[in-house]
Amino acid sequence: MKVSFDFDSTLSIDIVEQYAKELIEQGHEIWIVTSRFKYFDKSRNKVNNSDLYEVADRIGIKEDHIHFCEMENKSEFLKDKEFLWHLDDDAIELSFIRTDTTVFPIWRYQGINWKQQCQDLLRILTNKFKPSQIKLITL
């Protein structure tokens, strides 16, 4: 399955990083889809992306599986690309993903079992879980 993760306040968190690594080990295709700019821009005082590339390398995410949206809605990139779900901490981004794509938006928010939602969707699509057994939390 092909799934995507936001970086800042999502994949940059240890528990999410570990989960992404587990998914890669299981054979899933993992992408980073971030609002960040790809290149360092001194005039806008943007940071470089060494932290992002370091995490991607540690997890095993290929460089061509990193997409910089450069502050455009992530839904524009995710549309029609056959991603199962996108995990993000930004409710507004997830709202656009829900309305503009067929990708399941999953909110990485404290107190919400985001990992269980991700796993449930993977089980449904591999026929190891019945759709009536899933409880998704919607925004």
Are 69 and 77 a contacting pair, CB within 8 Å? yes
- Alpha-carbon distance 12 to 131, whole Å? 31
Average pLDDT (11-22) is 97
Taking the C-alpha atoms of residue 77 and residue 93, their distance in angstroms, rounded to an integer, is 12
- Going through the chain in order, the beta strands assigned E by DSSP cover 2-5, 29-34, 66-68, 85-88, 104-107
Q: What is the pLDDT of residues 39-89, one digit of tens each?
A: 766 666 666 799 999 999 999 999 999 999 999 999 999 999 999 999 999
pLDDT of residue 109: 85
8 HSE (CA, 13 A, CB side): 13
Indicate the pTM of the whole model. Answer: 0.85
Go through the domains of the chain in sequence order and give each one's CATH number: 2-133 (3.40.50.1000)
Average pLDDT score over residue span 104-133: 80
